[in-house]
C-alpha cells in the first residue's frame, strides 16, 4: 500500500470531488464584495430543490451540531415540552441540547438499529398533548437506519400542533426530501456528507409555521439566530464572516449534482446501499438493521463471530481503507461503511473486495469473491 492512498468510507466526512477541491482553491474573494453577493444569490435558488422547499435555505458557518442547536434555540423556549425520537447517537444529541436549554424532553427511545414507528409516535403525541416540537433524525448515522420521515411527519400533524424538526445531516442530497410536501417544519444538514464538501457549512430551512414560532421565540441566541441569517440572505449577504472557500466549493458541488440530476443521485445511493447489504448477506455476516430500514448512505454491520475493531484495523493498515466503528453502547460491536456523496458503485465493489481480504486476514472463514459477486449481481439487475 502506498501511504498516500486514502480510501475514506466512514459515513462522512466523505472524499471531495476533484473539481470541488479545485473550486475551493480559487483565490480568496472579499466576503462583502459583489462576487460574494453573486455567489450567494446563485446558491439560494439551487439549494431549494435539494430540500424540496420553496423557503430559503440558510447557510451557517458551523458543523452539523450547531445546526441541531439552531433548530432547538430558534423553535423552542425553556420550559416547553418536546418529544425527541432517539434511535441512535444523533437523536440522543437532540435530547442533550434540549436539556441544556431547560426544555422538557419526552424521549421516544427506539432500539438502536430499528426505525421509529409512526404508531408509537402517535401514542406518545396523544399522551403529551402540549408538545411544542417533535425532533427526529432522518438518517441515524450511528445505526444506518433511515427513519420513515414522511410518515412520522404525517402523524405529527394529524395528532398535534407540534413543529416537526428533522436532522437530515447524513442523507439530505442523497435521499429524496420533500420538506414542503411532507410537512417538515425545520430541516437541517451539514456540508460533509451527501453534499460532497469538507465540514464547516450547515444548512437550515424552516416552514412558514416554524418561522412564526422563531419570530416570537424569547430564547436568547446570537450567532445561531435564524432571523439574522434570513434577513441578510434577502440582501444576498451573511450576518457573520462566512466560510468563503466552502461556499466556492458548494457552488461546484451543486453544479455536479445538477449535472447528474437529483433523481439519478437518489437511485445511485439506493443502489449502493443495496449492493453493500447484499454483499454482507451473501457472506452470512449480520447487519444491524433490517433491509427495509437500511439507509442508502450508511450500512452498519454487527459481526457475530469476529472483531469489528480487528477488521477495521487490518483494512486501515493493508489498504488505507477507513470505515467507522460503533458509537456509545455499540462501540466495538459494529462497524459502519459510508457510501454517500462522492461515492460510486465502483467504490462499493472495491470496499467489498478489500473487506473480504480483511476478513480472511483476521481468520474469518469466508468464500472470497462471494460478497463481490452479490454486489455485482445487484448492480446488473438494477440497470
Farthest CA pair distance, the chain: 62
Q: Is the dihedral of CA 107, 112, 115, 120 positive or negative?
A: negative
User: Nearest CA to 350 among 16, 5, 3?
Assistant: 5
CA distances from 99 to 65, 81, 349, 354 (A): 15, 11, 43, 43
CB of 53 to a second copy, least distance (A): 25
CB of 317 to a second copy, least distance (A): 11
Identity of the residue, 132 or 312, whose beta carbon is nearer to a second copy in the bound complex: 312
Identity of the residue, 9 or 302, whose beta carbon is nearer to a second copy in the bound complex: 9
Distance CA 345, CA 59 (A): 31
Identity of the residue, 179 or 372, whose beta carbon is nearer to a second copy in the bound complex: 372
Distance CA 134, CA 85 (A): 7
Distance CA 369, CA 66 (A): 43
CB of 291 to a second copy, least distance (A): 21
Task: List contacts with a second copy (CB under 8 A).
Answer: 1-5, 7, 17-19, 25, 256, 259-260, 268, 319-321, 342, 344-347, 349-350, 352-354, 356-357, 360-361, 367-370, 372-373, 376-377, 379-380
Identity of the residue, 25 or 129, whose beta carbon is nearer to a second copy in the bound complex: 25
Say whether 277 counts as a known binding-site residue: no
User: Is residue 278 within 8 Å of residue 375, measured between CB atoms?
Assistant: yes
Q: What are the two backbone dihedrals, phi and then psi, of residue 202, each rounded to the nearest 5 degrees?
A: -130, 155
Identity of the residue, 50 or 89, whose beta carbon is nearer to a second copy in the bound complex: 50
Identity of the residue, 273 or 345, whose beta carbon is nearer to a second copy in the bound complex: 345
The contacts of residue 61 (CB under 8 Å, 6+ apart) are: 200, 201, 202, 238, 240, 241, 242, 243, 246
CB of 179 to a second copy, least distance (A): 25
CA distances from 128 to 58, 108, 125, 279 (A): 31, 12, 5, 43
Nearest-10 crossing angle of helices 345-361, 370-382 = 170
User: Is residue 257 within 8 Å of residue 50, measured between CB atoms?
Assistant: yes
CB of 276 to a second copy, least distance (A): 14
Identity of the residue, 12 or 148, whose beta carbon is nearer to a second copy in the bound complex: 12
CB of 244 to a second copy, least distance (A): 19
CB of 312 to a second copy, least distance (A): 16
Binding site: what residues are annotated? 336
- Pick out the residues of the known binding site for substrate: 336
Amino acid at each position: 500500500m502506498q501511504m498516500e492512498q486514502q480510501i475514506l468510507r466512514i459515513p462522512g466526512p466523505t472524499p471531495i470531488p476533484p473539481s470541488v477541491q479545485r473550486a475551493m482553491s480559487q483565490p480568496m474573494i472579499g466576503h462583502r464584495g459583489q462576487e460574494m453577493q453573486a455567489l450567494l444569490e446563485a446558491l439560494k435558488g439551487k439549494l431549494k430543490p435539494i430540500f424540496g422547499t420553496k423557503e430559503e435555505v440558510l447557510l451557517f458557518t458551523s458543523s452539523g451540531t450547531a445546526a441541531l442547536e439552531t433548530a432547538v434555540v430558534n423553535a423552542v423556549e425553556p420550559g416547553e415540552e418536546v418529544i425527541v425520537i432517539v434511535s441512535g447517537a444523533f437523536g440522543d444529541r437532540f435530547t442533550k441540547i434540549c436539556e441544556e436549554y431547560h426544555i422538557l424532553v419526552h424521549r421516544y427511545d427506539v432500539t438502536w438499529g430499528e426505525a421509529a414507528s409512526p404508531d408509537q409516535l402517535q401514542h406518545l403525541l396523544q399522551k403529551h398533548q402540549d408538545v411544542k416540537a417533535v425532533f427526529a433524525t432522518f438518517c441515524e448515522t450511528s445505526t444506518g437506519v433511515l427513519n420513515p420521515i414522511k410518515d412520522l411527519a404525517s402523524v405529527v400533524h394529524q395528532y398535534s400542533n407540534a413543529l416537526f424538526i428533522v436532522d437530515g445531516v447524513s442523507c439530505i442530497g442523497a435521499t429524496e426530501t420533500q420538506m414542503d410536501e411532507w410537512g417538515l417544519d425545520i430541516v437541517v444538514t451539514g456540508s460533509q456528507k451527501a453534499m460532497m464538501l469538507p465540514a464547516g457549512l450547515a444548512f437550515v430551512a424552516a416552514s412558514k409555521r416554524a418561522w412564526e414560532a422563531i419570530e416570537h421565540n424569547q430564547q436568547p441566541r446570537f450567532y445561531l439566530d435564524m432571523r439574522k441569517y434570513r434577513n441578510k440572505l434577502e440582501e444576498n449577504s451573511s450576518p457573520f464572516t462566512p466560510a468563503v472557500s466552502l461556499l466556492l466549493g458548494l457552488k461546484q458541488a451543486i453544479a455536479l449534482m445538477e449535472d447528474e440530476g437529483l433523481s439519478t443521485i437518489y437511485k445511485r445511493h439506493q443502489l449502493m446501499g443495496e449492493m453493500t447489504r447484499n454483499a454482507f448477506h451473501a457472506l452470512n455476516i449480520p447487519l444491524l438493521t433490517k433491509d427495509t430500514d437500511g439507509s442508502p448512505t450508511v450500512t452498519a454491520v454487527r459481526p457475530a463471530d469476529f472483531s469489528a475493531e480487528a477488521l477495521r484495523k487490518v483494512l486501515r493498515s493493508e489498504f488505507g481503507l477507513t470505515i467507522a466503528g460503533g458509537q456509545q453502547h455499540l462501540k466495538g460491536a459494529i462497524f459502519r461503511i459510508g457510501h454517500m456523496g462522492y461515492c460510486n458503485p465502483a467504490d462499493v465493489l472495491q470496499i467489498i473486495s478489500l473487506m473480504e481480504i480483511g476478513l480472511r486476514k483476521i481468520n474469518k472463514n469466508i468464500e472470497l469473491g462471494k460478497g463481490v459477486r452479490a454486489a455485482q449481481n445487484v448492480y446488473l439487475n438494477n440497470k
